[in-house]
Amino acid sequence: MTITDLVAPGAILPALKVNNKKQALMELAAHAAGLTGQNERAIFEVLLQREKLGTTAVGYGIAIPHGKLPKLDKLFGMFARLERPIDFEAMDGEPVDLLFLLLAPEGAGADHLKALARIARLLRDQDVAKKLRASRDAQALYSVLAMPPATAA
């Protein structure tokens, strides 16, 4: 499974304008609903419930909000670069400016965890994060995400 298996070129938001975590989750849910045909409110609730368990910010300005939906038929990913960093209650205290949304079918099990691990590994690569922060349009961002990893995992 590669990142491009999860994210379509149309699922990239190059300059999302939000002021806080809740607004970011609402915007992600709205865009994801349009791309997946899922209910926007259901997506938002799943993401909010997951955040209540603990932040999905992984440090270094990166968050990976995620959740499982009963009616989803395959893993779905979406990437957003925020116009301004926001507080996402990260353990390292750093504001977040790179978001990767991952939605999974309820029965996804190990595939969901493998996808989360792959996303976290990719985004924590400092070179990749730097390129994502420097890219201004959806195509450039997608190209960075689609690059093969520099080192074998």
Give the active site residues: 66
b/e per residue, 60-80, with b = 16+ CB within 10 A? bbbbbbbbbbeebeebbbbbb
Instruction: Give the position of tokens 């190059």.
Output: 14
DSSP conformation letters of 61-86 = TEE--EEEETT--S-EEEEEEEEEEE
Parallel, antiparallel or unpaired: strands 76-86 and 7-16: parallel
Residue with tokens 């932040």: 55
